[in-house]
Amino acid sequence: MLDKVNVSDFLLATGEDDAVAVVDAQRRHTYADLRRAAARLVAELRRAGVGPDARIGLLGGNSLFWVAGYLAAMKLGVVVPFSDKNGVDDLAAQADWVDCAAVLIDRRQQRRLGPAFGDRPVVTDAVLAEVGESSWPTTASDALGDAALMFTSGTTSRPKAVRVTHQNLVANTTSITEYLNLTASDRMLVILPFHYVFGASLLHSHLAVGGSLVLCNSYTFPETAVDLIDREACTGFAGVPSSYQLLLRASSYGARRLPTLRKIQQAGGRLAPALIEELAAAQPDAELFVMYGQTEATARLSYLPPQVLGEKLGSIGRGIPGVTLEVLDENGRPVAPGEQGEIIARGANISPGYYNDPEETARKFPGGTLRTGDLATVDGDGYIYIVGRSGDFIKSWGYRISPQQIEEVALSHPGVSEAAAVGLPDPDAGESVTLAIVSAPGTTPAEVASLLEFLRARLPKHMVPVAVQVLDVFPLTASGKIAKQELRELLAGVGSEVP
């Protein structure tokens, strides 16, 4: 039964030995190469004294080593992916929090961040060039409990790690491959880091069907990604809102025919409806899947079928196979169409909770469900529309304002490439609505200066920003989302204000 299988065995069961698994800097690695690399790392971890069910750190850029290390760690114990955007102190706190027994790390990151792990045993990518045991183990841990611990947020004194089980991963991967109808012929262009659950879901779903992953580790110039899609005949592309804002404004994506591209995935936050329409029109022969998920749900919770995209524009769709989503009011009752409530999720992909944090687990996962913290409405057909996160609303002059409504209007201005609205402390209003933008390439100062007038004509008075700040780039999280807390700290003195 699939709920009794080690997820690494599940992910490696389908790919043919001579089929390409990973394309990394024009080097093609087959499934046979991947199995040998993963087996080599299992053997090296065992030689270092790492026993079954140990927590094993993993740090590095997307690569054959990262994929092999991920599979090796879950075969032997529990993988703990770390973000290379963290500093030494944060990494040390996270490694201590979960009591890592050893660390898999590439040599580049070891030179920069290795001190975070103290005297723990370390296995680097140099091992893959050495001769040694390379047979994939037929036995592993019998516990089949936690497969991964995924960090979401937290301070150095209190990290937060989501427990993801073997069953969670198998269930969510099976659901994703089903609704995307993935096969061994699918080849995904990957710009998202694998340590982020959205990026990891691309890894899971394509390995599970014997497909391929083409790695693009630099997205500063999105034309690089477009070239790779074309050159490597990629069938899929996935990104968060900031990925697509940059792709549509700073590359030839909308004007260049990409005949192999069949499936486009968007998740990791809400993309403005106007940009969804633009994205769908840019490659009309490809299907656009708008999706929604959380780390606490392994990755994916819902999707909007491409055939209803125009009819249900702005919706995150309905639950994926095996997942039930409800929008409930404060009394736990389903809301009527048009009313607001919190999205509550149920399914085999829901995490059992946070590592070493029973209080937060009880609050977030009551009765085995997931309280997402996302507020939404539902229409008469059961399609869900997110209106914002419970903690993100701006409270100004007694109004409760959704930042995404302001952002969507701003993004419909031709001179705006990226937009983010936040509330800043104000002694009279409580919070003042402030908008930050990145202007589109080629936009003149006069066009940018017209933005406030543009917003006043389209927003209620209480939602019009008191100021607009122009930034060169937005601060981003490790997963490519806009880091709003850091943005709030920047807005007081960075960028030029639109008059």
Task: Say what the pLDDT of residue 497 is.
Answer: 58
The pLDDT value recorded for residue 156 is 39
Angle at 297 between CA 292 and CA 299, to 5 degrees: 55
Tell which wins on pLDDT, 394 or 55: 55
Tens-place pLDDT, residues 374-421: 999 999 999 999 987 766 778 787 677 888 889 888 888 888 888 888
Interval 147-199: pLDDT, tens: 999 998 543 347 899 999 999 999 999 999 999 999 999 999 999 999 999 99
Query: What is the DSSP secondary structure assignment for residue 221, as one 8-state letter?
Result: S
More confident residue, 269 or 265: 265
How many Å apart are CA 437 and CA 416, to the nearest integer?
6
User: Comparing C-alpha atoms, which of 460, 481, 488 is closest to residue 418?
Assistant: 481
- Distance in angstroms (rounded) separating the CA atoms of residues 24 and 373: 37
Task: Over range 15-36, report the average pLDDT.
Answer: 96
Residues 6+ apart with CB under 8 A from 85: 477, 478
Higher pLDDT, 423 or 210: 210
What tokens were used for 121? Answer: 């045993």
Residue 238, beta-bridge partner list:
265
Determine the pLDDT at residue 432: 87
Mean pLDDT of all residues in 63-83: 97
Beta-bridge mates of residue 223: none
Confirm if 368 and 168 have CB atoms less than 8 A apart. Answer: no
| Residue range 310-323, pLDDT digits in tens | 999 999 999 999 99
Domains of the chain with CATH codes: 2-176 (3.40.50.12780), 218-389 (3.40.50.12780), 394-497 (3.30.300.30)
Q: Determine the average pLDDT of the residues in 425-443.
A: 83
SS3 for 175?
helix
E-assigned strands of 49-198? 55-59, 78-81, 102-105, 122-124, 146-155, 158-165, 187-190
Of 435, 425, 382, give the one whose Cα is nearest residue 405.
Answer: 435
Among 441, 433, 442, which Cα is nearest to 469's?
A: 433
Contacts of 483 (CB under 8 A, 6+ apart): 474, 475, 476, 477
- Rounded to an integer, the average pLDDT of 475-482 is 76
Is residue 253 within 8 A of residue 205, CB to CB? The reply is no
Hey, which residues does 291 pair with through a beta bridge?
303
Given this model, what pLDDT does residue 142 score? Answer: 53
Whether the pLDDT of residue 370 is over 90: the answer is yes
Q: How do 318-319 and 323-328 pair as beta strands?
A: unpaired
Provide the pLDDT confidence category of residue 454 given band limits of 50, 70 and 90.
Answer: very high
Per residue in 118-134, pLDDT (tens digit) is 999 999 999 999 888 87
Whether the per-residue pLDDT at 334 is higher than 60: the answer is: yes
Rounded to the nearest angstrom, the gap between the alpha carbon of residue 417 and the centroid of all alpha carbons in its chain is 21
* CA distance from start to end of the chain: 64
Q: Could you give the strand order of the β-sheet that contains 384-389, starting from the edge strand earlier in sequence?
A: 323-328, 341-347, 370-378, 384-389
DSSP track, 428-454: TTEEEEEEEEEEPTT--HHHHHTHHHH
How many CA atoms, within 13 angstroms, populate the side-chain half-sphere of residue 298? 34
Compute the chain's Rg from CA coordinates: 23
How much is the pLDDT for 495? 45
- With a pLDDT cut of 70, the percent of the chain lying above it is 95
Task: Please tell me the predicted confidence (pLDDT) of residue 12.
Answer: 97
**pLDDT score at 204:** 98
Instruction: Give the angle 362-363-366 at the CA atoms, nearest 5°.
Output: 65
Q: Are 108 and 116 in contact (CB under 8 A)?
A: no
| Percent of the residues in the chain that have a pLDDT greater than 90, as a whole number | 68
Length in residues, the chain:
499
Handedness of CA 174, 315, 244, 310 (dihedral sign): positive
> In the block, which residue shows the tokens 């890894």?
203
199-255 pLDDT per residue, tens = 999 999 999 999 999 999 989 899 999 999 999 999 999 999 889 988 998 899 999
How many Cβ atoms are within 10 Å of 310's Cβ, its own excluded?
Answer: 10
Amino acid at 51: G
User: What's the predicted TM-score (pTM) here?
Assistant: 0.85
Taking the C-alpha atoms of residue 415 and residue 396, their distance in angstroms, rounded to an integer, is 27
441 burial (CB, 10 Å; 0-12 / 13-18 / 19+) is exposed
